[in-house]
Amino acid sequence: MSDEKIQYDVHDYTPVNRYIDDQARLKRSASTWRYAKAAALILVATGILAVLLAWAYYLYKKPHRLVSLSEIEQKVINNEDRIINAERKLPEDDEVNTSTTSNILQGKINEKAFLKGKESWETKLDGLIWSQRTFPYQVKCLNWLREEYQSLNKSEKTEAHKIIDGTGCEALVN
């Protein structure tokens, strides 16, 4: 028996072994990526939770100012009193002269100063000295007004006089 030769075939299974190793490596890497994704999601969720907890803590510790309705009502009443007192300090209508005649007088004085080439003018109105720079646009408007009045026919002028009679504005168009 010892003289018998044993015959055997040698097969090369290296490609099969490589394939098996590659498949195992792919499975390991796929599972590693799954673990990495899961770990990343857990970290993101933990971060969001930490931010929300910090915000809740801030809101909890923030000093809350509790104001009762009576305090608000008192503030409203104080503001109303302040407004009423400020209105009482305003001058009465008879203390302020806003008459049309003084405005017309100012317009005519301004026109004369403009025609004389003066830079400014002054006058006495209601016992007070009034001075201002000559205002060319006011003169232009006054001339416009006179031109428009002159372009009216007789019945239109009569209607215009009915409207402005007693206001002091008659002096502007005459």
- Residues 105 and 58 both lie in one domain: no
Q: Which domain holds residue 140?
A: 99-173
- Residues 119 and 58 both lie in one domain: no
Task: Evaluate whether residue 138 is within a structural domain.
Answer: yes
Tell me 10's DSSP state: -
Q: pTM score, two decimals?
A: 0.38
Instruction: Round to whole Å and give the CA distance between 26 and 24.
Output: 5
pLDDT tens digits for the chain (174 residues)?
567 888 878 888 888 889 988 888 888 777 788 888 899 999 999 999 999 999 999 888 887 666 677 888 888 899 888 888 877 766 554 554 445 556 666 777 778 888 888 888 887 777 778 788 888 888 888 888 888 888 989 998 888 888 888 777 777 777
Task: Evaluate whether residue 21 is within a structural domain.
Answer: yes
Structurally, how many domains does the chain consist of? Answer: 2
- Quickly count: other Cβ atoms within 10 Å of residue 145's Cβ: 14
